[in-house]
Amino acid sequence: MEVVAVEEANPVMASAPIAPYNSSPLGNSSSQNASRESLKMEPLADVAVLPGEERVIDKDIIYICPFNAAVKGKVSITNYRLYFKNTDSETPVTLNVPLGVISRVEKMGGATSRGENSYGLEITCKDMRNLRFALKQEGHSRRDIFEILFKYAFPLSHGMQLFAFLSQEKYEENGWNVYEPMEEYRRQGLPNSEWRVTFINKNYELCDTYPTILVVPYKATEEDLRRVSTFRSRCRIPVLSWFHKENHAVIMRCSQPLVGMSGKRNKDDERYLDLIREANGTIKLTIYDARPNVNAVANKVWAGYCFPVRLGLLATGGGYEGDDAYQNAELVFLDIHNIHVMRESLKKLKDIVYPNVEESHWLSSLESTHWLEHIKLVLSGAIQVADKVSSGSSVVVHCSDGWDRTAQLTSLAMLMLDSYYRTLRGFQVLLEKEWISFGHKFASRIGHGDKNHADQDRSPIFLQFIDCVWQMTKQFPTAFEFNERLLVVILDHLYSCRFGTFLYNCESARESNNVRMKTVSLWSLINSDTSLYINPFYTPESSRVLYPVASMRHLELWVTYYIRWNPRIQHQQQSPVEQRYKELLALRDQYLKKLEELQLSDSAPSSTHLTNSSTPNAATANQHITHLQTPF
Amino acid sequence: MEKQQHSSGSETPVLPPVPRKPRNLGGGIPASRQDSVDSLDSPTGSHVEWCKQLIAATISSQISGGVPPEAIPRECKSQDSGEDGCQFDSDYELPSHTTQIFRDARKQAPMDEVPLVPGETITTTVKDVMYICPFSGAVTGTLTVTDYKLYFVSLERDFPFILDVNLGAISRLEAISVQSLGENTSGMEIVCKDMRSPRFAYKKEPQSNLEILDVLTKYAFPLSNELSLFAFQYKEQFPVDGWKVYDPVAEYKRMGLPNESWTISKINSNYEVCDTYPALLVIPTSITEDEVKRVASFRVKHRIPVLSWIHPETQATIVRCSQPMVGLTDRRCKEDEHYLQTIMDANAQSHKLTIFDGRQRNVADNHKAKDGGYENGNFYPNMELKFLKIPNIHVMRESLRKLKEVVYPIIDDQRWHSAIDATHWLEHIRLLLAGAVRIADKVESSKSSVVVHCSDGWDRTAQLTSLAMLMLDSYFRTLKGFQVLLEKEWISFGHKFAARVGHGDENHANSERSPLFVQFIDCVWQMTRQFPSAFEFNELFLITILDHLYSCLFGTFLYNSEQERVEKEVNSKTVSLWSYINSQPEDFTNPFYVDYENHVLYPLATLRHLELWTGYYVRWNPRMRPQMPVHQNLKELLYLRAELQRKVEELQKEVSSSRSVSSSSEHAYSPSNGGTPLHTSV
């Protein structure tokens, strides 16, 4: 009987008054707007647009806010964003949505639909929210705005340019200089007697999705590389990602070998892998295949996608390194599912967090999305890679094409192994290197400017990686120089199309579109004001390897990203602690400076002081201190 | 021991000094340096001491990490091999350098010595006992039973392994079958109140066998064996007397009482009006003694409505009591109606009074058949009655029992979240917090007085009033204020600690047992998570309180009411927990604390904002321990703050003395002000 009573209590309490939550004096309850603006813009109503941004249309509209009631206001659409500001009340409600985050625009209701606010637009976003607007049900009032939105949100589908090419923003720093491959390889201690830099791909002839500069075994000739490329999917041959300075073990990345149904072999590929193994005397080279083990696939119900995909791979000639052919190598499957599984998982997550958070069985529903489970598998895969490398064995990592799961695993393992990548600058280098230059297909996975929202190529692989990084920052709060805000800003601009950083699928495409010349880098924005992205708790430690615990009970949902649109989630983060810490640090600096001053003025008599006219008294006081301080 | 701590700390002069060695408390706070050392590697050691040692170790080595490379990835590997990846656990919990330090420390003290607190005596020692550790496999060693604790030490591994359990934490002892270990072996399971159940196996030697279980039973349940609780033997001296923490008159005075409407009454000074209430009560001034007695006869257990808290500005009050005895016939009591009316009138800001009944409505209805019930709106005009729908003590007990099954000893990682969901523990926490938020909001925003009751007014009522007071009054969020809050709302107002916890009682299945106080502390912890800088105390403080809720080392949580405590002379014959706490407050202080005076805290009472308090419930599992010695940062911060404050004071002194010379008094030096004018020169 009692238990029944517990259950019954749920719905009632769920509707408990909202008032107390908003009246918290500690929370920033004043910000009623559902859109926390990470782009730092003046209200567009009194327009402060980006350089290069142009206004296209203004319209009276009703925003059907899922958290408050419907709000009357005005929407402006520019070639960069959708901006809404309410006109009906004192409390500001604003929306500031870069058009790049829009994945889909649909008409809602028809001219004859009944009910209030049933006629309008529904906008699906890539960043875990949907927006609904209602218009007057007369005179095709939505036609113009729909067409404009559709055109500007998906410029590539309409023969137009992405906003990044129109932007005229200027920054002090030039983010395109952040990553210089040669410099980065030199930092790692390359080239050396075991590894050489090759320019064989300088015209993207060997592999069109790889960067121009590659690091390969010293003993492998250019001819060897060409032969190996014929046996690797998309010619993505095994190349060096990271070199362990002490034990000389390496992380190599590549795509799957083209063994096909018949189990083809390729002597050149086998020899090439053996060269990698020999370079530091590894006894058995470990090959991490990120995919689920073939035998295990059929057993997993929710992995429904994998089985046909796997068959398809074999049918199209893909596969994995067999025991017979690669005798000095050990193959380990990491059981990470493919892009389609991840897309579905995130979709389920969105279903339980937006617009309303599934409250009654929160933890169970969270579990049923499997999102955290996927995070766990990716992290534990990376841990295995990092562990193997720090024990002195070289590893090769691949999945199918070597640009999704492979990038996740190599970059996370590098983050664990190399503290440089945990700095603000180093993290940028890591992304530029492992993700951008090595051809993670950002354009296909995100669908920048493309109207085709149902494209099977879309998948939140990069988001998942950033989530893994966030999980690491949670487990090691002092190990990263950057803060959560950096991660959120990166994700915001992954979609926004304001910067060129994440555009296109590979380096060759970026080059032919002149991205470096014609667009601004996201790192220009970040590095022009780094103070916003610095973690005050950071304590540099150069030689430490971080092993996060990859278990469900240590992983958390990244609430401040996935549920950030919900106004109830916005306050009471850890920020007071950070605030307090920063205050203390500032206070300390202040006193140190003060002490220094006192000591300085001690040695040099007070007459040398420059008096600031605006605060004469203070200066006087200071001089008096100087006098009193002499015994000190 | 003090010396050892010091030596490890003194290697690095720059860093903060190592906290003063806590006094020998055994169990929850193990007594000696070396035993705590091992709790690091044994999953069973005390979390509290573990944290402290971690702090000391990291400070002394000046590293905030250094996890051995070969260590932690076992986690992922063990996932492949399923459940039994546990053998790896013991070797990776801590950075290797830490272990190193502890090893050094270990050499300095003999291991076979059992650390004792003053007044503690050894009753039996048995050799060749096997502890069947669920995390790191079985170890063989020596088991010692004292009149205060069970102490197991094994020297067979690289570093000593120690398990230390306060006898007070034991809920039941059971013989278990350990056939796999051979015919001559017996086993026992020690089921504890603090979420663990260590198991032992030992040789069957008729006499000594009997002895172990018998001795344990005798001392674990002294009250069932005509012995006294250990608190009455404990002889430690502390520089601070914790019994002085709570002075009712001073506390009421702090609230601005008495005033024209409320008086501090001595009507219960001999516990004659209500034997479970404290001697001093705050009641409306205009109520006569006679009326009080009539109201008492209308309230269950005579727990009349009395003031718990008064709003310093609005005079809105929180009043607590037990249910009215309306029965099935809806009996009335004119005096009770008048009494509540008087309470409402005492607050000029509002013409309403809200009665919060902690129960579910149907449960409250059922109580009518047992002569209880709730206030009938027809007879109490201007009053609204709200049910907070919190289930009773039996539901809570079951919920925690399920939670223990989920977290100890083996965790099913795949089903972790849904398993926690199924215990409903967080759901109950949510109901409690949501109820308290409603009370606090009513008092603060509606400026309305409230009356809170459940059935007897000592379980849910105490939870609700104390949580609401914690939200409303920043004083209770200080280290000292929180002690006052517990002394007042829980201890003096007769939360039945003896019955709920079952101190020294072998009757483990008693249906009076319930983790109501644990649940309350959990709610407080949830609040500290949501407002990390609003509380002066830290997590260690909360865990220490819970450890000594069971330990029977201090008199603080013994007995059911103030009257019993006076009768047993608890204040003179036992030591207060606050004596220990307040003798080393720095260990229990939150470095991020900022005094949000006059701030009302409304925690978010929704499930996605509540977390399982793994640092308490799952602390025995070595895999649940934090990755990073975050505590180090805290400690350094504390030191930094003290240092800065000292400098501020120095500078302020200088400034003020210089100012008296220059006679410019406008530019007061404000340390919290970022850009002080003093900086503009140079």
Tell whether A332 lies on the interface with B, counting CB pairs under 8 A.
no
The interface residues of chain A toward chain B in range 358-377, judged by CB-CB distance below 8 A, are 359-364, 366-368, 372-373
Verify whether the Cβ–Cβ distance A587 to B655 is below 8 Å.
Answer: no
Among B420, B618, B678, whose Cβ lies nearest the Cβ of A622?
A: B678
Of chain A, the end-to-end C-alpha distance in Å amounts to 76
A622 interface with B at CB cutoff 8 Å: yes
Catalytic residue among B274, B454, B523, B552: B454
User: What's the rounded Cα separation, in Å, for the pair B74 and A362?
Assistant: 30
Task: Say if residues A275 and A219 touch (Cβ distance below 8 Å).
Answer: yes
Cross-strand bridge partners of residue B537: B589
Catalytic residue status for B454 = yes
A124 interfaces chain B, CB cutoff of 8 Å: no
Q: Can you tell me the mean pLDDT for B541-563?
A: 97
B408-437 residues touching A, CB cutoff 8 A: 411, 413-418, 420-422, 424, 426-428, 430-431, 434, 437
Looking at the complex, report in whole angstroms how far the Cα of residue A593 sits from the nearest Cα belonging to chain B: 9
Give the DSSP per-residue string, B449-463. Answer: EEEEE-SSSSSHHHH
Q: What residues in B contact A25, CB-CB < 8 Å?
A: 599-600
The minimal CB distance from B654 to the residues A383, A583, A628 is found for A628
pTM of the complete model: 0.80
Distance CA B500, CA B495 (A): 8
In 3-state terms, what secondary structure has residue A257?
strand
Predicted pLDDT of residue B640: 66
Q: What is the pLDDT of residue B636?
A: 66
In this complex, do B623 and A549 lie within 8 Å of one another by their Cβ atoms? yes
Please tell me the distance from the alpha carbon of residue A389 to that of residue A392, in angstroms, as a whole number.
Answer: 5
Nearest neighbour of A9 by CB, restricted to B431, B591, B644: B431
Mean pLDDT of chain A: 83
Is residue A9's pLDDT more than 50?
no
pLDDT value at A10 more than 70: no
Q: Are A225 and A200 in contact (CB under 8 A)?
A: yes
Question: With contacts defined as CB-CB under 8 Å, which chain A residues touch B633?
Answer: 477-478, 537
CB contact under 8 A, A615 and B667: yes
User: B371 is written with which tokens?
Assistant: 């002569």
- Under 8 Å between Cβ of A185 and A161: no
Is residue A78 predicted with pLDDT exceeding 80? Answer: yes
Contacts of B290 (CB under 8 A, 6+ apart): none
In this structure, of A36-50, A279-293, B251-265, B422-436, the range with the lowest mean pLDDT score is A36-50
Residue A560 touches partner B, C-beta closer than 8 Å? no
Question: What local confidence, expressed as pLDDT, does residue B208 receive?
Answer: 55
Average pLDDT for residues B76-82, to the nearest whole number? 35
Chain B CB within 8 Å of residue A552 CB: yes
3-state class of B403 per DSSP?
Answer: helix
So what's the pLDDT on residue A260? 82
* Contact predicate B63/B95, CB 8 Å: yes
Residues of chain B neighbouring A583 (CB-CB closer than 8 A): 672
The answer for B 492-531 residues in CB contact with A (under 8 A) is 530-531
Count other C-beta atoms under 10 Å from residue A312's C-beta: 11
For residue B110, the model assigns a pLDDT of 54
Pairing of strands B353-357, A70-78: unpaired
- Quote the minimal CA–CA distance from A140 to chain B in Å: 43
Give residue-wise pLDDT tens across range A242-257.
999 999 999 999 999 9
Rounded to the nearest 10 degrees, what angle do helices B425-444 and A2-14 cross at?
50
Residues of chain A contacting residue B438, judged by C-beta atoms under 8 Å apart: 16-17, 20
The pLDDT value given to residue A576: 63
Q: Distance from A476 to chain B by nearest Cα, in Å?
A: 6
B628 near A477, Cβ under 8 Å? Answer: yes
Residues of B in contact with A628 (CB under 8 A): 654, 657-658
For residues A243 and A65, give the distance between their C-alpha atoms in angstroms, rounded to a whole number.
Answer: 51
Among the partner residues B72, B603, B678, nearest to A594 by beta-carbon distance: B678
Q: Decide if B426 contacts B605 (C-beta within 8 A).
A: no
ipTM: 0.75
As a whole number of angstroms, the distance between CA A79 and CA A97 comes to: 11
Tell whether B607 lies on the interface with A, counting CB pairs under 8 A.
yes
Contact call for A618 and B64, based on CB within 8 A: no
Q: How far is B11 from chain A (nearest CA, A)?
A: 20
Interchain contact, A367 vs B417, CB within 8 Å = yes
Share of chain B above pLDDT 70, in %: 75
- Can you point out the beta strands (E) in A218-290? 239-243, 250-254, 285-289
User: Where in the sequence numbering do the catalytic residues of A fall?
Assistant: 399
Q: Which residue of B has its CA nearest to A359?
A: B607
Give yes or no for B441 touching A (CB within 8 A): yes
Higher-pLDDT residue of B458, A570: B458
What does the alpha-carbon distance between residue A260 and residue A319 come to, in Å, rounded to a whole number?
A: 6
Return the DSSP state at A79: S
Q: Which of B406, B627, B656 is the best residue to mutate to test the A interface, defined by the most A CB atoms within 10 Å of its own CB?
A: B627
Handedness of CA A294, A299, A301, A304 (dihedral sign): positive
* Cβ <8 Å between A551 and B70: no
- Give the pLDDT score at B57: 32
Residues of A in contact with B66 (CB under 8 A): 544
- Residue contact A580–B594, C-beta within 8 A: yes
Banded pLDDT at B631 (limits 50, 70, 90): low
pLDDT attached to residue A47: 52
Residue A601: list chain B partners with CB under 8 A.
682
Q: Is A253 helix (H, G, I), strand (E, B) or coil?
A: strand
Chain A contact set for B601 (CB, 8 A): 24, 26
Tokens matching residue A2: 């009692």
Q: Averaged over B409-437, what is the pLDDT?
A: 95
Cβ contact, residue pair A544, B66, below 8 Å:
yes
Residue A475 Cα, gap to closest chain B Cα (Å): 6
Measured CA to CA, the distance from residue B437 to residue B414 in angstroms comes to 34
CB contact under 8 A, B674 and A609: no
Residue in B391, B440, B641 closest to A6 by CB: B391
Q: What is the pLDDT of residue B598?
A: 80
Question: How many Å apart are CA B66 and CA A545, to the nearest integer?
Answer: 8
* Residues in A touching B602 (Cβ below 8 Å): 20-21, 23-24
The stretch A377-398 carries a mean pLDDT of 97
Mean pLDDT of B52-57: 36
Instruction: Spell out the SS3 assignment of A485-554.
Output: HHHHHHHHHHHHCCCCCCCCCCHHHHHHCCHHHHCCCHHHHHHHCHHHHECCCCCCCCCCCCCCCCCHHH
Residue A313 banded pLDDT, cuts 50, 70, 90:
low
- A498, pLDDT greater than 70: yes
Query: Does the CB of A584 have a partner CB in chain B at under 8 Å?
Result: yes
pLDDT tens digits along B82-105: 333 333 333 333 333 333 333 333
Q: Do A544 and B65 touch (CB under 8 A)?
A: yes
The structure tokens listed for B8 are 């490890």
Q: B interface mutation test: which of A247, A379, A387 has the most B CBs within 10 A?
A: A387
**DSSP for residue B645:** H
Look up residue B21 and give its DSSP letter. P
Average pLDDT, chain B: 81
Selected for mutation to probe chain B from A380, A559, A624 (highest B CB count within 10 Å) is A624
